[in-house]
Structure 1
Amino acid sequence: MEAVETNTGAIFFVDGPGGTGKIYLYRALLASVRSQGRIAIATITSGIAATLLPGGRTTDSRFKIPLNPEASFMCSITKQSDLAELIRRATIIIWDEATMTNRYAFEALNRTLIDITGVDYPFGGKIMVFGGDFRQVLPIVPKGTKAETIAASIVKSSLWSNIQILRLKQNMRSINDQQFGEFLLRVGDGVQPTIVDEMIKVPTLMAIPWNGEESIVRLLQEIYPDIRNHSFDVGYMVSRGIITPRNEDVDKLNEKIIQRFLGVSRVYHSFDKVENDTQNLYQQESLNSISPGGMPPHALHLKVGAPIMLLRNLDPSFDLCNGTRLLCRALNDNFIDSKILTGHFKGTRVFLHRIPLKAPKNLKLPFEMTRTQFPVRLSFALTINKSQGQTIPHVGIYLPDHVFSHGQLYVALSQGVSDQTTKVLVKKGSVNNEEGVYTRNVV
C-alpha cells in the first residue's frame, strides 16, 4: 500500500501455502485500491480461481499471452488498443498462481508493458503482485524432465532478482485442525518421513484400504452420500469433489457417479472432422475415439441436476472461464440450460451451445482435428491440476497409480479442511507388508 500511495513501481511475490488466505489478501488489496478511485487489474493463471476475485480474469485472456510462449515472444496487445490504455492507467496488477506459469510468459508480459508504457523499468514501472506456492504443481512441460520443469519456473527468470518476497504462514483453511495443517506443510516441504521410493504413510483417519471395486464404491459413498436425493442441491455439489491425477480416471469416476444419479441420461455426440480431408481418409470411428485432455468426449453423457465444468473461456467477464462449474437445469437438443455454481455470478442462468474445438498441438496428431461439441465435462471428479486454487471441504483423493509430478499430492491434500473430511484411496498402497496405506510424494 505504501508503493500505491507513493506511486512508485515495485514487484512483490506473496508466498503462502495453500489455505493461508492469499485470495482473501488480494480481495482486501483490490477493495482498498479501487476505493481510492485507482485501477487495479486482477488475474489468476487458472480459470476457476479467477472467478474468486472481483473483476478477475485468466492471465492468458487478460494479457493476450501466447499459448506456447518462447524466449523472445511478446503479448498480442497493440499500443493503440483499449487494453493498452487500461494497462497504462492501472496502478497495480495482481497475478495469482504464478508458480504454475512458464517463465517465458512473465518475460513476454514484461517486454509488452515496457513497450506500452514507454518506461524502461521491469514491467514498465507498474506495481506487480505475484502470488503462489512453490510446493504446488509447477509449470507443465510435456514429457519434460525435472530439470526442464525447474528451468521453466519464474525463479529461473532474470526478473526474479527484482522481486520482494512476502510470506503468509498461518493456514486459515484448516485452522480448526492444526495437526492436519502441520501434516500438509510436512508433505509440501518434503520432510514427512518416507520409506522406499519416496512413499509416505497416509494418516489412518483419512485412508481407505484397497479392497477392489468395493473400495471405489466406499469412496463414492463417503464423498457423495445419498446423492440420489441431492439433485439441484448447489451447496451439496460445490462442497464435494473427487480428484485424481489422470483424465482417463476422471472419466471413469464421473461415469460411475452419473449412473448413481437420478434421472434419465442424455447423450450428446460430437461432429468430428479433419481439416482439408477432402477424400475422407480418416474414419469417423477413429476420430471419435480420440479424447485428449481439455476437450469434451465424443459421447457426452449428462443428466438434469448434474454438475458440469466449462473447458473453454467463453466470456471471462461473466465468469464463464475454463474451469467454471455449472449445474444442468435442462438438456435441450441444441443447447444446455445451466446456472453458474460459484463466483460473483453464482446463480446466473447460462445457455451453452456446441462450438468447434481444435485438438491441442501437444497431442501431436498427424492431422488437424476439429470437434464440434458442447465445451463441458461432468465435474463430480476432476484432475488434481484442475483443482489447484480451490477449496473442497469434502474431498476424495483417488490414486489408482501414484502421483507422477511435483506437488500433486500436496495440492490434492490441501483442498480439504481437515483429516475427517478428506479421504484417500490408493490402489497400490501396500509397501513391503508395512501396516497402513502408503503413497508416493514427489517433491
Structure 2
Amino acid sequence: MQVLMFIDGLGGSGKTYLLNTIIQQWKERNSTVVAACSSGIAAFLLIGGRTAHSKFGIPLRPTPDSTCSWLPTDPKGKFLYSINLIIWDEITFQNRYSVEAVERSLRDLKQVERPFGGISVIFAGHFRQILPVVKGGSIYDQASLSIKKSALCNLLDKKELDINLRICTDSPDGEINKGYSQWILHVGNGTWQENDVGQIELDGIDHLFNPSRDYAVKQVMAFVYKDLQARINLKSVGELCSYFEGRGIVSPLNVDIHTINQTLPDLIPGRKNQSKSMDHMEEGPLSLSEEVLNGINPPGFPPHILQLKNKIPVILLQNLNTSKGLVNGTRLLVCKISKHALSCKIMTGTRRGQDVGITKIKLTYEDDEKLGITFTRYQLPITLPLVITINKSQGQSFDTVGVYSETSVFSHGQLYVALSRSRNVPGIFLGGVGPSSQRDTTNIVCRNILV
C-alpha cells in the first residue's frame, strides 16, 4: 500500500531520529529508500542522505511545468524506477515547483497515474521554520511557493511531533526549559503580535542591546567563545572539534557576517596564513579591473583574502564530494595549511572525525541583476564560521548559541529558527545594535501558512 505522509515536527522534536528509524526499518525489509533533504548540511543527518537536487536532478529554476533532468534509460532513471520509499526532509524550505517536478517525472517514469508513480513518500518539516527563498519577494511570495499551496499537500496524511526534545527537561534547568519551549512556540506562531510583521518582548531569553556595534559583537562573542584561547592550547584536535561543533553565532544577513568573521583569526594563537584568490572577468557588457573584482563578495562565495591558522574552524561553501560528506555547510577544523590546499578534519554530520583535503577551485559568479557581471574566482571554497546565516543554521543544533541582531530578521520563521538552535535556555543569548533600553525585536510570521 502506498504511503503519502507529512511529518510536522517542532524544532528539536526528534524528527531526524524518527526518519532514520523509518529508513532502517524499510531497508531491513529489502526496500530501496531514497533519503533527500532540501539543504545540504541537514541531508547528512539522514542515513544515506543527499540533497534533493542531486538525488532527483531538479532544475535550478523550476517552473510550474518543469520536469527533472533524467531519462528512463539513464542510470539515475533506472535507479529511481526501483525505489520503494522517498524520505524528504526540510520540505517546508523547498520550492513547491521542485516537488511537483519530481512527482510529475516519477509518474511519467513509472507510467502509473498515481501520485509519484505509486512510490511511497514521507515528507518532513515544520511550517514555523523558513519558507522557500524568493529573491526580492515578500513573505507572501514565499508562502505561495510553499508545498502548503500545492495540490499534493491535500493528499498527505499529516502526523505531528509536538514536544521539543532538544530543550532538555531533565537537566537542572528543566523547569526553565519547559517554559522556554512554550515561549518559543508562541514566537513561531506569532501569538504576541498584531500583524505578520511585529515586535515581541524578549522576556524568554538573556539579551543585550547597545548603540555600539563593536560592543554588541564583543558581548555575543564573549558569550559563545569564552576561554577560547585557553582551550586552543589545552585541547586535542578531537576535543577542539567538539568545542567548535557545539557552539555557533547566527545572524540574518551575509553583510553583517563577513566583517565579524574576519576577527576570528585574531582570537586563535599562531601564525596567520593568507590565501588570496585570482579573479577574472568573463566577457560581457561591463569590464571591471581585478582590483574591483577582489572587493566583490557575493553570497556563497569565499572572500578574496582568507586569513587562516592551524586549529581554526572553517565552513564549506560548495558541494565538493557528497559521498565524503563535503557539502555546502559542512564545518571543518584546519589541521595543516599548504600553498594551495588544506588538511582538515570534519566536525559535523555522519562523517565527523574523518580527515579530508580541500584545494582551491574555480568558482563562477553568474550574471546578476544588480551587478550585471559574470566573473570567476580561484580560491579555497570556504569561509570562517564564527557567524553563519540563520538560514544556513536550520537543521543544526548547538549547546551554546549567540544571535547577533545588527539588522532585523526579514523573512518568515527566521527568529523562531535562530532561537530554537540551542539545547538549553542558559545556552542562548541575543545581542544587538540598538538603545540599551531595548527589550524587543522584530518577528515575522506568515500566519496563514500555519492554518
Q: Shorter-chain TM-score: which interval?
A: over 0.9
Shift in Å at residue 245 of structure 1?
A: 0.5
Instruction: Name the structure 2 match of 1:314.
Output: 320
Shift in Å at residue 280 of structure 1?
A: 9.6
Root-mean-square deviation over aligned CA pairs: 1.9
Instruction: Structure 2 unaligned segments of length 5 or more: list them.
Output: 170-176, 446-451
Corresponding position: 1:438 with 2:445: no
Relative to structure 1, the CA distance from residue 419 to residue 112 in structure 2 (aligned partners, 3 Å threshold; closer, same or farther) is same
| Contact preservation (8 Å) 1:42, 1:95 | yes
Q: What do the CA deviations read for 1:5-56 (whole angstroms, capped 9, x no partner)?
A: xxx2231111111111110110110111111221111111111111111111
Which of 268, 271, 277 is equivalent to 1:261? 268
| Contact preservation (8 Å) 1:75, 1:108 | yes
Relative to structure 1, the CA distance from residue 429 to residue 25 in structure 2 (aligned partners, 3 Å threshold; closer, same or farther) is farther
Return the alpha-carbon distance in structure 2 between the equivalents of residues 361 and 72 of structure 1. 24
Return the alpha-carbon distance in structure 2 between the equivalents of residues 263 and 122 of structure 1. 58
Return the alpha-carbon distance in structure 1 between the equivalents of residues 370 and 406 of structure 2. 26
Relative to structure 1, the CA distance from residue 285 to residue 185 in structure 2 (aligned partners, 3 Å threshold; closer, same or farther) is same
Instruction: Name the structure 2 match of 1:27.
Output: 20
User: What is the correspondence of 1:384-399 to structure 2 with a 5 Å cutoff?
Assistant: 384-399=390-405
| Contact preservation (8 Å) 2:205, 2:430 | no
Return the alpha-carbon distance in structure 1 between the equivalents of residues 135 and 294 of structure 2. 24
TM-score w.r.t. length of structure 2: 0.91
Q: Which residue type is aligned with residue 32 of structure 2?
A: I
| Contact preservation (8 Å) 1:429, 1:439 | no
Return the alpha-carbon distance in structure 1 between the equivalents of residues 215 and 201 of structure 2. 22
Shift in Å at residue 208 of structure 1?
A: 2.2
Secondary structure at the residue paired with 1:13?
Answer: strand
Instruction: Name the structure 1 match of 2:2.
Output: 9
Q: What do the CA deviations read for 1:299-324 (whole angstroms, capped 9, x no partner)?
A: 11221111111111111122111111
| Contact preservation (8 Å) 2:311, 2:333 | yes
Q: What do the CA deviations read for 1:61-98 (whole angstroms, capped 9, x no partner)?
A: 11111111111111111211222222122111011001
Corresponding position: 1:76 with 2:69: yes
Relative to structure 1, the CA distance from residue 396 to residue 348 in structure 2 (aligned partners, 3 Å threshold; closer, same or farther) is same
Corresponding position: 1:347 with 2:353: yes
Instruction: Name the structure 2 match of 1:290.
Output: 296
| Contact preservation (8 Å) 1:194, 1:200 | no
Q: What do the CA deviations read for 1:201-258 (whole angstroms, capped 9, x no partner)?
A: 1126511242623332122111001111333411100000000011121112212232
Corresponding position: 1:338 with 2:338: no
Secondary structure at the residue paired with 1:420?
Answer: helix
Instruction: Name the structure 2 match of 1:164.
Output: 157
Q: What do the CA deviations read for 1:266-297 (whole angstroms, capped 9, x no partner)?
A: 111111112236x9932011111110111111
Q: Which residue type is aligned with residue 269 of structure 2?
A: L
Return the alpha-carbon distance in structure 1 between the equivalents of residues 27 and 61 of structure 2. 33
| Contact preservation (8 Å) 1:17, 1:169 | yes
More deviation in 329-338 or 257-266?
Answer: 257-266
Instruction: Name the structure 1 match of 2:138.
Output: 145
TM-score w.r.t. length of structure 1: 0.93
Relative to structure 1, the CA distance from residue 280 to residue 186 in structure 2 (aligned partners, 3 Å threshold; closer, same or farther) is closer
Relative to structure 1, the CA distance from residue 33 to residue 257 in structure 2 (aligned partners, 3 Å threshold; closer, same or farther) is same
Relative to structure 1, the CA distance from residue 360 to residue 405 in structure 2 (aligned partners, 3 Å threshold; closer, same or farther) is farther
Shift in Å at residue 110 of structure 1?
A: 0.8
Relative to structure 1, the CA distance from residue 114 to residue 361 in structure 2 (aligned partners, 3 Å threshold; closer, same or farther) is farther
Which of 248, 253, 256 is equivalent to 1:246? 253
Instruction: Name the structure 2 match of 1:236.
Output: 243
| Contact preservation (8 Å) 2:209, 2:431 | yes
Instruction: Structure 1 unaligned segments of length 5 or more: list them.
Output: 1-7
Instruction: Name the structure 1 match of 2:280.
Output: 273
Q: Which residue type is aligned with residue 352 of structure 1?
A: I
Return the alpha-carbon distance in structure 2 between the equivalents of residues 258 and 395 of structure 1. 20
Paired residues, number: 431
Percent identity of paired positions between Structure 1 and Structure 2: 35
Return the alpha-carbon distance in structure 2 between the equivalents of residues 361 and 9 of structure 1. 44
| Contact preservation (8 Å) 1:41, 1:93 | yes
